[in-house]
Amino acid sequence: MQESFDTTTVEFDEDTGVGRVTLNRPDALNALSGQLREDIVESLRLLEEQNDDEIALRVVVVSGAAGNFCAGADITEFEDASPGGSPERTHYQFIMDFPVPVIAKIEGYCLGGGLETAMACDFRFADEDARLGLPEVDLGIIPGAGGVQYISELAGPAAAKEIAMTGDHISATRADELGIVNRVPDDLDEATQKFAEKIASKPPLAIQTIKNSARISTQTSLKEGIDYDNKVFEPLLATEDHKEGARAFAEDDYEPEFKGR
Ligand code: COA
């Protein structure tokens, strides 16, 4: 499947279960206009609808057209809206709540709301020439969609303050050292595709449960988080996918096929 909205393109590969959303406003370095925010949500909704018994969406890769991920909120629309948009419509929240993992594939500039979008994703793979930052301070504001919070969570408050207070662009390597990105591979396309396919081949219910569990871990005490995991572990034992995985383990040369049931 291949579709286009005004400012995004969407693809879905039925064979691998990998969906792709590409931010497509290259003339503005894919800056987040109101339209682009809406199109990201609509693109993800469209991908979510691709699920049926045989064809299933398993993972989404979000990237930017023409060599840049996203240069942040569209400054020309700044008077009109808060950087996060209205709470029920934010694409950030939509990505965090999305039922399958979302990978940000980052090339070129990844600034402000662009970095916040990437940090709302489950994984970040970055090109070695990517530049990441939170430049809002130079506009007399702060990253309004959680930039300081995300970096505090991923890399600690000292890193968050350094990046948000200086507004400096940091290299992908530095972001990797800080834990803000997962990987800075030699071949970004190949590594992202391989990783997406690996996640896509895993049992979907277990993957979704892990996504939720990791999110819960940032919101609760360790004890509450472990209690949560204990509770959601049990139903997975009753899934067809658990039986399939156990069978594949027991039998040599048998590749499991997980159905999300
Ligand atoms: N909003 C709207 N338009 C943007 C934009 C943004 N956040 N970032 C870049 N653009 C536009 C530029 O206005 C320019 O448009 P033009 O060709 O019609 O003049 C085009 O994208 C290319 O940007 P330009 O600044 O010419 O490229 P550059 O390579 O010299 O610099 C950046 C790139 C990313 C360093 C620079 O564009 C920049 O600092 N952008 C703003 C980043 C920012 O502050 N984001 C957070 C906003 S809260």
Domains in the chain: boundaries: 2-200, 204-250
Beta bridge partners of 73: 32
For the question of residue 234 being annotated catalytic, the response is: no
Distance 28 CA to ligand 1 centre (A): 6
Each residue of 51-110: pLDDT tens digit? 766 679 999 999 999 999 999 999 999 865 555 555 446 999 999 999 999 999 999 999
pLDDT, position 84 = 54
Handedness of CA 237, 229, 245, 44 (dihedral sign): positive
Best residue among 7, 24, 27, 29 to mutate for probing ligand 1's pocket (most ligand atoms within 8 Å of CB) is: 29
Ligand 1 pocket (Cβ < 6 Å) reads: 28-29, 31, 71-76, 109, 111-112, 135-136, 139
pLDDT, position 83 = 54
pLDDT, position 53 = 60
Please list, in sequence order, all residues whose beta carbon lies within 8 angstroms of the beta carbon of residue 108, skipping any fewer than 6 positions away.
29, 64, 67, 68, 69, 127, 129, 130, 131
pLDDT, position 86 = 52
Q: How far is CA 92 from CA 20, 30, 62, 178, 200, in A?
A: 16, 16, 12, 22, 22
Residue of 3, 14, 77, 136 with catalytic role? 136
pLDDT, position 111 = 98
Residue 45, CA atoms < 13 Å, CB-side half-sphere: 9
Q: Whose CA is nearest to atom 8 of ligand 1?
A: 71
At residue 118, φ and ψ (nearest 5 deg) are -65, -40
Each residue of 206-256: pLDDT tens digit? 999 999 999 999 999 999 999 999 999 999 999 999 999 999 999 988 899
Topology classification of domain 2-200: 2-enoyl-CoA Hydratase; Chain A, domain 1 (3.90.226)
* Percent of the chain clearing pLDDT 90 (strictly above): 92
Angle, helices 222-237 vs 204-217, to 10°: value is: 170
For residue 8, how many other CB atoms are within 10 A of its CB?
26
Domains 2-200 and 204-250 share a fold: no
Tokens at 195, concatenated: 């990783």
pTM tops 0.85 = yes
Each residue of 21-39: pLDDT tens digit? 999 999 999 999 999 999 9
Distance 251 CA to ligand 1 centre (A): 56
What is 204-250's CATH number, 3.30.70, 1.10.10, 1.10.12, 3.10.290? 1.10.12
Residue 169, CA atoms < 13 Å, CB-side half-sphere: 13
Distance CA 217, CA 33 (A): 32
Q: Whose CA is nearest to atom 36 of ligand 1?
A: 71
Which of 172, 166, 233 is CA-nearest to residue 205? 233
Average pLDDT over residues 145-152: 97
Handedness of CA 133, 138, 139, 144 (dihedral sign): positive
